Each structure stands twice: as structure tokens, then as C-alpha cells.
């Protein structure tokens, strides 16, 4: 570099040799960066097709059930859907329903109309009561009495991941795994019912179960530390208002990261039925 080509930043122009060199570096970067980004995006884990109809309120009418969690049973000529009700933000629907019931009386077993935001995917639908108590539109008594049956489906010993259903079924992508763990903890802590995602022994599609305690009690706080990771557990299964419920034995829960090498045979899925 000659004396004339010495670079000084406070001068108006840089020496031509510096300019040529920097130009070559920049051209290289402008070519490499898109290739690098393309490479990164290409291998990214795909997102699911779940939907959150943000900004669109939908009115749904159906039979409201308090148990095992707030559910709206919506029927048409062809089918019946058991829609989980959740609150705005990272909250469950229980407090909102309780506030509505202070004004309207007990809603359990009545035909109720709610306005809210739909969340749906993989055969599961949720309704966010976006406007809180104002999500209530109307209610009326049914002509025939609603019978709330609990069907016992036996014992179950398997593995799966506890999810926050509101985010998983549409509000966030991804709404599962390590990245989403903190958010799922907040959601369950706020009362959104935990859901266990399970891959059946024979099959490749997920099954979803509501998670309750051994005696059907709420266990949101107790399962917070296991959210977003694969866990093994024992439970009994019941079915109530269209949802299968895992009445989980909390003491049986074991995170797979806690297994020692000698326990690895426990993880052999073929042993499970």
C-alpha cells in the first residue's frame, strides 16, 4: 500500500485499493447470505396446519359442560364436536364462566351461546372467550335433562408430552417443545387445561387426552415441571363429555432425561401395550 492509499476514517473518501477490496467482500456477502439463509430455512422443522382465527369472532351454540373442564358440546346434523373453552391470553375459562354464572346462574347442562375466537387443528377445536364475560351471548334450559356420564376405559401406561392446548392447536407455531416451554408453563399456570399428546402403539397419528389427577382433580401446578418434554407415566383413562381423560398418577411421572443408562430398556416401547 502506498502512502497515498493509507486509510483514514475521518476523510471524505477511502483509498481506491480499500474501496475495491471492500466492494469484493460485500459482493461475496450479498451472494453468500441468501444461500446461507436458504440452507437454514430448508432444514427447519415444518409447522403444523393448525389455525387461530385471530380477529374473527364466531358465535357457537351448544350444551355447556363444567366437567372435566369447561366444554361446549356443539352438534349439527352430521356430527358433534366437544369444544374446549379457554380464556383470553394465557388463562383458562373457569374464572370467566364463574363470573358469568354470578349473573346468569349455573350454566352446566344448559344450551349456551358464546362468541369467541376459534382455534383448531388435528381434529380438536377450542374457543377462546376473547371478550371475557362479554363472550356470553345467551342460554336456555334443555327440554330433556343432560346426563353427564363418566366411562371407565381401564389402565394406561405410556409416554407422551404435556401440552398447552391453546398454543399447540393454533395460537403459536411452534406451540410445543423446548422453545415453547416457558409459554406453556404460563398458560397452564393460568388455568388452561393440560393436554397429553400421545403416539399410539399401532399408528402414527396423535391422540390427545385431558390430564387430571388420580381422583379427577386439577393438576395444572403439579405438572408444570414436566411440560414440553417426553415423560413416562401410569394413569387410568375415563371418557367424559367427548374427551378422554388421563387420571394420572403423579408419582409415576418420570422425565426421560432422568433415566440412567441401565434404565434404557424401560424406554423400549414394544414392552408397552
Which residues of the chain form contacts with another protein (CB under 8 A)?
1, 3, 6-14, 17-18, 21-22, 25-26, 29-30, 33-34, 36-49, 88-91, 172-174, 177-183, 185-187, 189-190, 225, 228-229, 255, 257
Rg (CA), the chain: 26
The minimum distance between CB 191 and another protein, in angstroms, equals: 8
The minimum distance between CB 181 and another protein, in angstroms, equals: 5
The minimum distance between CB 143 and another protein, in angstroms, equals: 40
Pick 195 or 245: Cβ nearer another protein: 195
Pick 1 or 147: Cβ nearer another protein: 1
Q: Is 117 exposed, middle or buried (0-12, 13-18, 19+ CB in 10 A)?
A: buried
Pick 73 or 122: Cβ nearer another protein: 122
Pick 59 or 258: Cβ nearer another protein: 258
How big is the CA angle at 216 (ends 214 and 217), to the nearest 5 degrees?
A: 95
The minimum distance between CB 236 and another protein, in angstroms, equals: 28
The minimum distance between CB 151 and another protein, in angstroms, equals: 33
Q: Is 203 exposed, middle or buried (0-12, 13-18, 19+ CB in 10 A)?
A: exposed
Pick 22 or 137: Cβ nearer another protein: 22
Pick 45 or 269: Cβ nearer another protein: 45
Pick 5 or 151: Cβ nearer another protein: 5
Amino acid at each position: 500500500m502506498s502512502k497515498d492509499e493509507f486509510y483514514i476514517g475521518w476523510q471524505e473518501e477511502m483509498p481506491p485499493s480499500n474501496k475495491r477490496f471492500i466492494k469484493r467482500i460485500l459482493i461475496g456477502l450479498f451472494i453468500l447470505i441468501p444461500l446461507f439463509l436458504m440452507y437454514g430455512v430448508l432444514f427447519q422443522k415444518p409447522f403444523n396446519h393448525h389455525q387461530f382465527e385471530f380477529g374473527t369472532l364466531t358465535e357457537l351454540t351448544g350444551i355447556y359442560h363444567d366437567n372435566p373442564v369447561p366444554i361446549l358440546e356443539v352438534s349439527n346434523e352430521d356430527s358433534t364436536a366437544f369444544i374446549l373453552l379457554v380464556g383470553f391470553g394465557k388463562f383458562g375459562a373457569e374464572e370467566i364462566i364463574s363470573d358469568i354464572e354470578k349473573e346468569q346462574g349455573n350454566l352446566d347442562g344448559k344450551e349456551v351461546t358464546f362468541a369467541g375466537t376459534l382455534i383448531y387443528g388435528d381434529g380438536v377445536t377450542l374457543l377462546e372467550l376473547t371478550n371475557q364475560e362479554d363472550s356470553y351471548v345467551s342460554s336456555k334450559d334443555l327440554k330433556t335433562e343432560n346426563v353427564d356420564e363418566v366411562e371407565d376405559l381401564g389402565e394406561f401406561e405410556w409416554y407422551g408430552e404435556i401440552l398447552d392446548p391453546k398454543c399447540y392447536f393454533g395460537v403459536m407455531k411452534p406451540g410445543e417443545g423446548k422453545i415453547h416451554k416457558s409459554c406453556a408453563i404460563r398458560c397452564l399456570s393460568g388455568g388452561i387445561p393440560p393436554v397429553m399428546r400421545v403416539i399410539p402403539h399401532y399408528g402414527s397419528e396423535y391422540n390427545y387426552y385431558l390430564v387430571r389427577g388420580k381422583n379427577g382433580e386439577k393438576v395444572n401446578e403439579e405438572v408444570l415441571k414436566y411440560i414440553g418434554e417426553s415423560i413416562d407415566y401410569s394413569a387410568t383413562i375415563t371418557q367424559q363429555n367427548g374427551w378422554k381423560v388421563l387420571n394420572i398418577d403423579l408419582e409415576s411421572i418420570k422425565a426421560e432425561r432422568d433415566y440412567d443408562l441401565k434404565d434404557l430398556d424401560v424406554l423400549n416401547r414394544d414392552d408397552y401395550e
